[in-house]
Structure 1
């Protein structure tokens, strides 16, 4: 790999034609802060600006892929969701996984440990997921007293269908990596120590021709990622409901 860069909480490397973005805040289980989200957006912009890059892998350090939005950020936003700083901070978190979904190269999530809430949105935003057999995948919004956000219902249900999406997003069902692969939530479940190497293997394959990879993934998303409501529209539907639920929780 080339020498890495990043703030410390987000790392960026390039391995041949594959970019690797690493969530590196294990002390808080890689929960997203607004600053971390903004840095992710900047790195996704960098991937797009470098035509020699043909694929992107998103991975994480520690026992969790991503525990969702940072608790302090969510609590602060819940006190007054309309306050400019709170609104902008939550927008940055939304924008980070939405921006991942728009990156111009094929994307792979390498998922070990747990993924909850916004962490689920992060892995759902990618084109393909390789997960550890013992990974723990949980929507978790309602358990926290929050309405889902970020277009969660759309990006989950377009992968696994209405029934499974209802079970996970409404009824709080948790699935492991093996079940995720059965549902179509992941391409493959492998031993935890093989997750990243398998993700990099697949990414390197498509990245061998970066120009073709960019054209192909653009058309792939146009042709297969549609739904009754677009992801962008769903994000706007969910935002006021989530902000209401956060304010309600803060008032308790």
Structure 2
């Protein structure tokens, strides 16, 4: 386990394969400073490259998931003449979203409270979203005269549809957990005090599963979202051909034949 001022990185014991990344600026609703963005990007890349990590949880400390960009730091840097805020989309947000969506293992967002702007977009980019009852989501870019970033223009409409995504972005309307579940923004809502346990339960299940197959599910869905039917069929064919030669597939077949529970190794 590694702990610092802005991010906590925790591995489940006994080789469970779950790594939890906790945004740790609760006094600022886990708003994203340059330091936190850089630490999170490093931690995500390390998790992606670590064969011992088979599922990643992203959550927040305190009462919020993530309030998005830290506007105090943002304004302060601009007023000082530092152009770093103008580069943060390219330097931080784009790589964060690309790392989450491109990671060859599942990422679960445990949305423990309000998620806004880039913070909400981190949840949208994750593979699964489990929310606490107190969670809510807000795309408030229009309120400050900006368009969406952090991949929200791509991810949000794929979760809730083009029309709904446009409404939420233009009206900057807060979506509570009940509505989020109804419109498909999250997959599950649980009581606040049950969130951590439920997220960990799901993460353990995924970590014990066929990780290489999960990676292909992610990649084929991404391909299909931007391709013709013929291209999607070709991608599925290539994935199934590759997966058919994996140890996990052989294990699953043997387990089925012998009426036992398979033990996957992610290979």
Same-fold status (TM-score > 0.5): yes
State the structure with more CA Rg.
2
What corresponds to 1:62 in structure 2?
62
- Give yes or no for the alignment of 1:191 onto 2:199: no
Higher RCO, Cα 8 Å, sep 6+: 1
Shift of 1:79: 5.8
Q: Distance in 2 between matches of 1:150 and 1:79?
A: 23
Partners of 1:153 and 1:169 within 8 A in 2: no
Unaligned runs of 5+ in 1: 230-252
Partners of 1:77 and 1:87 within 8 A in 2: no
CA spacing shift, 1:60–1:188, aligned 2, 3 Å: same
Map 1:38-187; keep pairs closer than 5 Å.
Answer: 38-76=38-76, 85-94=84-93, 95-187=95-187
Shift of 1:208: 1.0
What corresponds to 1:206 in structure 2?
206
SS in 2 for 1:66: coil
Partners of 1:38 and 1:96 within 8 A in 2: no
Shift of 1:125: 1.2
Shift of 1:122: 0.8
Could you report, residue by residue, the CA deviation over 1:126-156 in whole angstroms, capped at 9, with x for unpaired residues?
0000001231211111123322112311110
Number of residue pairs matched by the alignment: 222
Map 1:16-35; keep pairs closer than 5 Å.
Answer: 16-35=16-35
Q: Distance in 1 between matches of 2:154 and 2:89?
A: 19
Could you report, residue by residue, the CA deviation over 1:215-246 in whole angstroms, capped at 9, with x for unpaired residues?
222211222235459xxxxxxxxxxxxxxxxx
TM score, norm. by length of structure 1: 0.81
SS in 1 for 2:102: coil
Shift of 1:166: 1.6
Partners of 1:134 and 1:178 within 8 A in 2: no
- Give yes or no for the alignment of 1:218 onto 2:215: yes
Unaligned runs of 5+ in 2: 228-267
Q: Compute the RMSD of aligned alpha carbons.
A: 2.1
What corresponds to 1:248 in structure 2?
none
TM score, norm. by length of structure 2: 0.76
What corresponds to 2:7 in structure 1?
10
Partners of 1:80 and 1:86 within 8 A in 2: no
Q: Distance in 2 between matches of 1:84 and 1:216?
A: 42
Partners of 1:48 and 1:103 within 8 A in 2: yes
Partners of 1:18 and 1:53 within 8 A in 2: yes
